[in-house]
Every structure is written in structure tokens, then in C-alpha cells.
Amino acid sequence: MRGKGNKRVTSVEVAAAAGVSQATVARTFSSPHKVADTSRAKVHEAASALGYVPNAIARSLKSQRTNIVGAVVPARGEYWQHLIAEISQQLAEQGSQMLLFTFAKPSEVASVVQSLRQYRVDGVLLASSFIDHDSIVDVAGLGIPAVAFNHPEALDVTASVSVDNVAGAAALADHLIETDHQTVAFVGGDPDTGSDRLRYRGASNRLREHGIVCPYIPAGGFDYDSGYAIAESLLRHFGGGDGLPDALMIAGDELAFGVMDGLSKLGVSVPNDVSVTGFDGLPQASWAGFDLTTLVQPAEELIREALGQLTSTPSTIESHTTVPGFVRVGQSTRRQACAEEGKA
Amino acid sequence: MRGKGNKRVTSVEVAAAAGVSQATVARTFSSPHKVADTSRAKVHEAASALGYVPNAIARSLKSQRTNIVGAVVPARGEYWQHLIAEISQQLAEQGSQMLLFTFAKPSEVASVVQSLRQYRVDGVLLASSFIDHDSIVDVAGLGIPAVAFNHPEALDVTASVSVDNVAGAAALADHLIETDHQTVAFVGGDPDTGSDRLRYRGASNRLREHGIVCPYIPAGGFDYDSGYAIAESLLRHFGGGDGLPDALMIAGDELAFGVMDGLSKLGVSVPNDVSVTGFDGLPQASWAGFDLTTLVQPAEELIREALGQLTSTPSTIESHTTVPGFVRVGQSTRRQACAEEGKA
DNA sequence: GTGAAAGCGCTAACAA
DNA sequence: TTGTTAGCGCTTTCAC
């Protein structure tokens, strides 16, 4: 029995209709247990008859809490899109809303931060390594809780939550070693990002322990096109398909999709000619066309952790959490040892 | 020169520091032209010295405008994820923010609507055919502008913006006819959605004009897995690879990805054994692994139109806009006529 | 052009 | 338990 397009019904009107004070109406909706059953019933009746819904704006102004969390994520990238839904769902569970900001260029972040300040959000989730350090510092100085998501770089100014990039890459390396791969190259997205560096470090260190030297090859980005484009360079670099290493470790799943498609177009077969690993654990990685061996980032856990930091943190405590991922084995890496001819 | 973690600076403090009244500070930020250059300068100086940022919550309470648009989208689906970034970018351009709500089940929409009401958003973008009609009616009765995005069903209670599904599907059918396909089947996602029905109608009508009867085959969903799973049923239904029609028109790109991968796994080659078309024009459709012939929905234009309706509409005017898409030809449909043996 | 003052709709003491 | 009373920080008449 909700009022039609009736503009704005306020608690005062409900109070009048219910024959109680405005304060009682307010209490009925904010702390119901402080109101007698009888009045609560009257209020609810009047409220629904009038189509009343409490005004969260007014509530926020008074209580200094908006129940809104700002999320700042890159506009492009399969990985980030994948996360947004999860963030939104978890926020909904805890009765919060998400104000979403996407940026195409790092330079846009500054203006986003302005909006964030204006809206007095309860916290900010900074989801990207592409956010420059200055902006992070900016946000950190805002006095609102912030957590850098998968941005291991931001360690010193704000809390952060990341997958364990080093251990994850090492785990992938282990898998390659166990399946008898002798030569491995790492294809990075952007060496200026922490994820890239840490993943390479984790992989190359572990491989070195097994006597394998792993070169780093920059693709110039984490996107599909960068991967597709680098495939040809790889072939040239290694002197054709026969010169390719046994395995390519790619810094991110989307990048890996591009590399796989690029290689395939050039007649290189995965995993027959070369094994490929990704990193992220995107849903698409499980698609039959790719079936990529990858390190799955436990999105739900990561975000739960991040949101926990946001809400539980009294001030800007610099807590740095690292969550382990796990390897999901697909068909993009060959499963069993097989003799390789003409290689070290 | 921004204040550090200093809590909340208000216009009153800025006024004191600048030696003007609070009203002048407020005017400096909301209607600068109504303030003398000299005072404006003083205010800005004091403001930045103190790290003042206007409080959008208070502003909204007074002005009855939040500059926030609510977007309600499904949690899953490549198509919707693809749109979110675009919506966010355009909103940012016009100085608005986006409160994002995702829902996993249609039943969650009701609670979302509650939040939307509480936050007094300026408008709501309902992005899905999965939102049940009752919820749409609910929102429509809220008195806040709403537009159903790609939800041609909602015609009678709220404004709507959609791609021209019928014309788009017909255009795809034309392409198939021009490239000499003789038999075609349509794989739908969910016959309960308007997009599905309209696309099938557009395709089958056009095909019928050319003497081709196009059966409708339900996949049970628009997701990848539904497509992957239906591939085997298709083969069984048509009595093996040889019995397949010349072309399969799939109701959505993601679904088409699944069908393609499924067929491929079963040894059916696209486009050699069967041509495939999609619908949506997702970025992934252009990936080399798929290279899907599809109908591109002009996302930017669609959203611009939708947001236009939201802001320009004085009340709930029932305006229904349809935007044309265009065919992007990929390798998933064979380009030239070729003789088919043993078929009508 | 600027200041004083009255709210926007709610929450949170404080009384009763 | 309920009502009264201040504000939260801003926008916006209305005088000056």
C-alpha cells in the first residue's frame, strides 16, 4: 500500500499520521528495540500508508556516516570488471552501498578523489596498481580509511590487501618444474607495477633454485591486444617456434589470452609447442578455448579482507595483508614429462 | 597546501579564516559568479589552506539533488560488465556519481530498490531484462526518473532505451542470406526475456521472407556454460555434424562463445562446418580465438541516450528510444558462397 | 555583493 | 518508553 508518485514524505508527516512524535518515528527505523511494540506498529502502518522511506542523506548528515564505500577501479581490464560484482555483493550484505569510480587514465584519479571527499564516503577501496603514488598519498591524507587493493606498492601510506604474488608465481613455477619444463620465459605486463615485479620475482627466484634462468619480456600492458601483439615478437626473439622455451609464464590472464590467440594464429600450438600459464584466475580462463593453467586469486576472500580493514580500522592503521592464491591446472600446460630435443 | 588528516573542515571555519560570512564561502563553491573576485580569492586561499571540501551530503539535503544515479545491473554476464565502465565514465563527465547495485537473483532487486529510495538518487538505470515487471513498476512508482536499459518489456511503466533488436537480428540474417546460407537455426538464451524474443522475431521474419524456416532452440541462459552445454544437444538434435544447419544465430555473444567452444570440442569447425553469429558486440567477440560475426550494440550512444532521459525528464515521461546497431563481420561466418551437399 | 537567518530530514542527548 | 530540543553543513531568500 505504497503512495504513488507522492513526492517526499518525511518523518514528521508519519508522526502526525501515527499520533506519535517525530523522534519515535525516527527511532522506529534506526533503533526499533527502543520503541514500544504498540507505537512501532502504529508507525509502520502510517509509514507504509504514506509511502515513507527514511532519508539516508539526512541520516548521514547527522550521523557522519554514509554507509557508502567508494571504489576506484580502472575502466578497462577483465580482472577489475570481475571484481566489481563481488565488491558490490559483499557491500550489500553489510548494508552498504558502493559509489563506483572508474578511470581510463591515471590522471583522472585526482578528480575522482575530489568527489570522494565531497561525498564523505566511509572508506575507499583503491583497486589498481595504476594509481600513482601521489594519489594514494592524497587519499591517505584525507582522514578516511583507505585500502589499496592488490597494490603492494602502497605499503607505507595506507593499508593494503593483496594476493601473495610472490608465492603464487612460485607455485606456478613449481608446477612447471614438476611437469618437467626446462626453459621458461616470463611475459610481463607493465614493469612499473608492483604485481608485475613481484610475480616475476616469485617465478624467477623459484626457477633459479632449479637452475633455470627466466628472462623477463615486457608486453607493454596487461590487456589482450598487448598479448596478441607480443606473440609475434616472441617468435622473432626466440628465432621461430622451435626456439621457444618450454613454457611462457604470463603476468595476467587477459594478457595470456592474447598471447595464446597470437601464438595460435602464428601456428604455434599450446601446449604442444609451448606451455602457457596465466595469473588471476578469471572465469574466462576456464573457458574451453583457453583452459589456462593459472593462479586463482580468491576474490571473495581478498575483498572480504579489504572491506574488513575499511570498516574495522579506527584510523589509518597500516595493516598489510597478503592472501594466498592457488594454482588451477588447465590444458595450457602439458601434464606429463616429454622429451625435448636439442635443448639444454 | 592541504591540511593533513584534519577531520572535517566546514564552511564556517573557512569563513572565519577568510574574514567573510559563511554564506559567501558557500556561494564561492556553488555559484562563484555571485561572488566578488576579491572575496572569491580570499575564500579559495583559506579553503585550500584548511583543506576544505564542500560537503555533498549537506548540499544534497538542502538542494534535494544528490547528483547520484543508481544503476541496477546483474552481477554476472560479460555484457553488463562491459557497460558499467561506460556508464561510470559518462556520469563522471556530467559531474554525477554512480551508486552501483548488482543482483545475483531477481529477488534481490526489491531490497535494492529500498536502498535506492533511501539515498534519494536523482535517477535509476535499470539494466536488465531479468528484472521482473513488478520491480519495474515499483521503481516507476517511486517518483524518481527511471529508465529501463535494454528492457523493451517495460514499455508501459517507464522510459526505455534499447538497441533495435529486431532490425539488428534482421541485419544479421541478411548477412547470412547474402553469404548464401540456406538453413539457419536460432539459439536463444531465455525465452522469457524481451531481447531474446525480439531478436528471434527479427531473425526468423527476415529469414522467412527468403523462404527459410528458422527453428528456435533454447539454451537456458545467456551465459557461457549454457552455450557450451547446448552444443552437444544441438549435434544430437540435428543428427550429428553433417545434419547441422548452415548457420547458427545465437542470441548473445557470451552464449555464442560457449557454443563455439562446445562445437569445437566436439570436432565441429566454425565456420567450415557451420557459421555462427552473436549479438552484443563485446570486445571479446573480436578476440582472434572467436572473431565472431555479431551485432554491435553502440554502448556509448545507448547510455548517452539513457542518461539523457534520466536527467532531462521532468517527470516519468514514457519515452521509448531505440538505437540501431551494426553488423561486425568476423571469421565465424563464411564469407563466400560454397556448395552444400545433401541439403534443401 | 554580502550577511543574517531559516530550514532540508534526520539523530542523539536530555528530560519527563 | 516517549517527547523536546539542538544541531549536522549546506543553500537560499531577504534585507542591507
- Per domain, the residue ranges of chain A are 11-63, 68-163+299-323, 165-297+328-343
A114 touches chain B (CB under 8 A): yes
Would you say residue A2 has pLDDT above 50?
A: no
Residues of B in contact with A100 (CB under 8 A): 84, 88, 98-100
**CATH 3.10.310.30 for domain A165-297+328-343:** no
A229 touches chain B (CB under 8 A): no
Q: What's the pLDDT band for B6 if we cut at 50, 70, 90?
A: low
Within 13 Å and on the Cβ side, how many CA atoms surround B229? Answer: 10
What average pLDDT is seen over chain B?
Answer: 89
Put simply, the answer to whether A141 touches B2 (Cβ < 8 Å) is yes
Compute how many other C-beta atoms are within 10 angstroms of the C-beta atom of residue B90. 19
* Residue A261 to chain B, least CA–CA distance (Å): 6
Mean pLDDT of A42-58: 94
Mean pLDDT of A277-292: 97
Percentage of residues in chain B having pLDDT higher than 90: 71
Q: Please, which residues 70-109 of chain A have a Cβ atom closer than 8 Å to chain B? A: 75-76, 81-82, 84-85, 88-89, 92, 97-102, 104, 108
Q: Please, which residues 171-210 of chain A have a Cβ atom closer than 8 Å to chain B? A: none
Closest CA to A29 of A49, A10, A3, A8: A10
Instruction: Let me know if the fold of A11-63 is the same as that of A68-163+299-323.
Output: no
Number of A to B CB contacts under 8 A, please give it.
152
Range of lowest pLDDT (A283-287, B77-81, B248-252): B77-81
Give the residue, B12 or B110, on which the prediction is more confident.
Answer: B12
Fold of B11-63: 434 Repressor (Amino-terminal Domain) (1.10.260)
pLDDT in tens, A141-156: 777 888 999 887 766 7
Comparing every residue's Cα with the C1' atom of nucleotide D3, the nearest one is A21
Q: Is the CB of A22 under 7 A from strand D?
A: yes
The CA–C1' separation of A312 and D16, in angstroms, is 51
Closest Cβ–Cβ partner in B102, B119, B284 for A88:
B102
pLDDT in tens, B235-246: 999 887 788 999
Question: From CA B226, how far away is CA B210, in angstroms rounded?
Answer: 30
Q: Is the CB of A56 under 7 A from strand D?
A: no
A265 touches chain B (CB under 8 A): yes
Question: From CA B157, how far away is CA B148, in angstroms rounded?
Answer: 10
Q: What DSSP element (H or E) covers A26? A: helix A22-30
pLDDT in tens, A118-171: 999 999 999 877 888 888 887 887 778 889 998 877 667 888 899 999 999 999
Would you say residue A343 has pLDDT above 50?
A: no
Give CATH for domain B68-163+299-323.
3.40.50.2300
Compute how many other C-beta atoms are within 10 angstroms of the C-beta atom of residue B8. 12
The CA–C1' separation of B128 and D14, in angstroms, is 49
Q: Is the CB of B102 under 7 A from strand C?
A: no
pLDDT of residue B18: 94
- The cell numbers describing B320, all together, are 521509448
Contact (Cβ atoms closer than 8 angstroms) between residue A311 and residue A284: no
C-alpha distances in Å from residue B233, one per residue of B223, B225, B236, B277, B287:
16, 13, 5, 18, 26
Would you say residue B291 has pLDDT above 80?
A: yes
Would you say residue A173 has pLDDT above 90?
A: yes
Closest Cβ–Cβ partner in A2, A97, A101 for B119:
A97
Residues of A in contact with B98 (CB under 8 A): 99-101
Mutate to test the interface with B, among A102, A111, A125, A128 (most CBs of B within 10 A): A102
Would you say residue A269 has pLDDT above 70?
A: yes
pLDDT in tens, B23-62: 999 999 999 999 999 999 999 999 999 999 999 999 999 9
Would you say residue A106 has pLDDT above 70?
A: yes
One-letter identity of residue B20: V
The CA–C1' separation of A21 and C16, in angstroms, is 14
Mutate to test the interface with A, among B11, B105, B118 (most CBs of A within 10 A): B118
Closest Cβ–Cβ partner in A56, A84, A100 for B119:
A56
Range of lowest pLDDT (A76-80, A131-135, B147-151, B165-169): A131-135
pLDDT of residue A135: 81
